């Protein structure tokens, strides 16, 4: 029987599709596998379901080269996988696009509203029993309605974030390497601006680019210095897209109004001091974390694995 190994427990909806067809191994620990363990399971499996924090580098892929047919990454991002090596060895790599678009856009908006309206701080204040009556200047925040939103990376998720801005009457700008056609721009509720311009005019900047050599530290000291003092940054993409140490300094010195982060440069570690700032909202990489979406993702990886193991090209092969 062919063997499918899953590096961390995923929703049953996916496992159910594989049950009976294959020998299934699921990491029994509530802990990521080590590199050595990944190499071991790569060697003895026909298919792997991997998490975005699993480093599927050339060593792991080499270990699996005689048997492994597919690595199905349980995420839309696949910066944890050495794609070139996988291609070279003829191992399919798939991801989970589309199904998590709206869920991740919802989180970007939840974070934007939370940091603008100081939801986390005021929740803590209320729980601590400090609420002793309505006051005219208690927890004053910043409006979102009618402001300017800059979206960096205008793929499916960036565009879903832009659609939600219609209800908030926001002026929306986007930046990405490839400009959309004028027809696509009209339909998307956003106008193109070069990156520097977008950073200068935005009240809120939301990131939606994949992590690549090109986007690493895309917001470095120079770019972060272009932001208005009143601007907020929202990152639900990948941590290393921002120089987190510089971001921390700018938030601490109030050179930027605030940030809401779901991803970190050295995940799961945070830049020292970041969690002590009251102008940040921090969540633990939960962009796609709804019951519905995580189940759909589980079914998607399972279906891609079935296709690959039954001799077909998997639907979500990333290099098509």
Q: What residues act catalytically? A: 238, 267, 285
Give the bridge partners for 207, in sequence order.
152, 235
Euclidean distance between CA atoms 166 and 169, whole angstroms: 5
Among 11, 55, 77, 155, binds ligand DGY (CB under 6 A): 77
Element (H, E) at 73: strand 70-73
Among 76, 111, 209, 309, binds ligand DGY (CB under 6 A): 76
Smaller CB separation from ligand DGY, 104 or 202: 104
Among 52, 115, 160, 190, binds ligand DGY (CB under 6 A): 52
Among 64, 239, 287, 314, binds ligand DGY (CB under 6 A): 287
Residue 49 in contact with ligand DGY, rule: CB under 6 A: no
- Residue 61 makes CB contacts below 8 A (sequence gap 6+) with 42, 68, 71, 82, 85, 86, 89, 91
Contact region for ligand DGY (CB under 6 A) — 74-82, 158-166, 192-200, 312-320? 74-82
Residues 128-167, interacting with ligand DGY (CB under 6 A)? none
Smaller CB separation from ligand DGY, 147 or 303: 303
Judge whether 74 and 50 are in contact, CB under 8 Å: yes
Euclidean distance between CA atoms 64 and 48, whole angstroms: 10
Nearest approach in angstroms of CB 296 to ligand DGY is 12
Among 10, 60, 71, 100, binds ligand DGY (CB under 6 A): 100
Contact region for ligand DGY (CB under 6 A) — 135-143, 191-199, 285-293, 298-306? 285-293
Cβ burial of 119 (10 Å; 0-12, 13-18, 19+) is: middle
Smaller CB separation from ligand DGY, 300 or 309: 300
Cβ burial of 39 (10 Å; 0-12, 13-18, 19+) is: middle
Among 235, 271, 288, 307, binds ligand DGY (CB under 6 A): 288
DSSP letter at 26? E
Total number of residues binding ligand DGY (CB under 6 A)? 8
Residue 268 preceded by cis peptide, ω within 30: yes
Nearest approach in angstroms of CB 236 to ligand DGY is 7
Tell me the CA distances in angstroms from 271 to 155, 205, 284, one per residue in order.
Answer: 28, 20, 14
Smaller CB separation from ligand DGY, 100 or 270: 100
DSSP codes of every residue in 139-181: T-----TT-EEEEE--SHHHHHHHHHGGGGT-EEEEE-SSPPP
Residue 72 in contact with ligand DGY, rule: CB under 6 A: no
Contact region for ligand DGY (CB under 6 A) — 71-79, 111-119, 222-230, 251-259? 71-79
Residue 50 in contact with ligand DGY, rule: CB under 6 A: no
Euclidean distance between CA atoms 302 and 61, whole angstroms: 20
Contact region for ligand DGY (CB under 6 A) — 75-83, 188-196, 223-231, 304-312? 75-83
Which spans of this chain sit near ligand DGY (rule: CB under 6 A)? 52, 75-77, 100, 285, 287-288
């Amino acid at each position: 029987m062919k063997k499918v190994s899953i590096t961390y427990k995923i929703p049953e909806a996916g496992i159910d599709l594989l049950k009976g067809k294959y020998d299934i191994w699921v990491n029994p620990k509530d802990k990521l596998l080590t590199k050595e363990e990944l190499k071991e399971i790569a060697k003895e499996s026909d298919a792997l379901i991997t998490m975005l924090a699993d480093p599927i580098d050339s060593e792991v892929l080499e270990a699996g080269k005689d048997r492994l047919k597919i690595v199905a990454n349980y995420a839309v991002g696949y910066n944890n996988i050495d794609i070139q090596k996988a291609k070279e060895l003829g191992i399919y790599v798939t991801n989970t696009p589309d199904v998590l678009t709206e869920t991740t856009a919802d989180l970007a908006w939840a974070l934007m509203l939370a940091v603008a309206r100081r939801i986390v701080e005021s929740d803590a204040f209320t729980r601590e029993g400090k609420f002793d009556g309505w006051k005219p200047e208690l927890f004053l925040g910043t409006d979102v309605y009618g402001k300017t939103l800059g979206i960096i990376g205008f793929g499916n998720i960036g565009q879903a974030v832009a659609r939600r801005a219609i209800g908030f009457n926001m002026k929306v700008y986007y930046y990405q390497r490839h400009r959309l056609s004028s027809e696509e721009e009209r339909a998307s509720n956003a106008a193109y601006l070069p990156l520097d311009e977008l950073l200068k005019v935005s009240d809120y900047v939301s990131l939606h680019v994949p992590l690549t050599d090109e986007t690493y530290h895309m917001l470095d000291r120079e770019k972060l210095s272009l932001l208005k003092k009143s601007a907020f940054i929202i990152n639900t993409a990948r941590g290393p897209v921002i120089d987190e140490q510089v971001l921390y300094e700018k938030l601490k010195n109030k050179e930027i109004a605030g940030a809401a982060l779901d991803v970190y440069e050295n995940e799961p570690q945070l830049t020292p001091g970041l969690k002590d700032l009251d102008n940040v909202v921090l969540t633990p990489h939960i962009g796609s974390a709804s019951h519905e979406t995580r189940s759909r993702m589980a079914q998607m990886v399972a279906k891609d694995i079935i296709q690959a193991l039954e001799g077909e090209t998997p639907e979500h092969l990333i290099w098509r």
